[in-house]
Amino acid sequence: MPIVITPIFVGLFVIAQVPLTWIVGMRRYHTGIRFFGGDDDILLRRMRAHGNYTETVPITLLAMACAELLGMPSAALWAGGALLVAGRIAHAVEMLRTGWGIGRSGGMILTFLAMVEFGAWSLWRSLFPS
C-alpha cells in the first residue's frame, strides 16, 4: 500500500521549517549572539519555537507514515494531520508573540493528540493485525 497522504504533510512541514530556522538566524545576525541565547528574550523564544518544532514534528510524521502503511483510514490521517498543523501554528505564534499563553499550551495539546492518534494506531495494528 503506497503512502499518499503523509508526504503532503511532510512537504508542508519541511517548508514551514525554513522560516522558523530563518528567524532564529536573522535574530542572531542582528544581535551578534552566535551561540545559545545570550540575554535576548526574543532570540530565546525564537529558538524554543524552532526547537519544539524539531522535537515534535519529525516523530509525529514518522508515526503518521507508519499508521498510513498499516491501513489507517484516510479521514483519520487527514484529521491527525490537521491537528498537527493547527497545533504547530498555535504553538509557534504564541511563542513568537509572548512566549506563554493559551496558544502555546493548546498547541502542545493538539500536537499530542496527533502523536497519540498515530502512535496508538501503529502500535495496535502492529500488535493485533487483522
pTM above 0.85, yes or no: yes
Residue 26 in this model has a pLDDT that exceeds 80: yes
**Alpha-carbon dihedral sign for residues 62, 68, 71, 74:** positive
- A 10 A CB-CB count for 25 gives 11
Residue 1 in this model has a pLDDT that exceeds 80: no
- Range from 28-42, 67-81, 107-121 carrying the lowest mean pLDDT: 28-42
Tell me, which fold does domain 6-123 have in CATH?
Four Helix Bundle (Hemerythrin (Met), subunit A) (1.20.120)
Residue 41 in this model has a pLDDT that exceeds 80: yes
Residue-averaged pLDDT of the chain: 94
Domain positions in the chain: 6-123
- A 10 A CB-CB count for 7 gives 13
The number of CA neighbours under 13 Å toward the Cβ of 64 is: 32
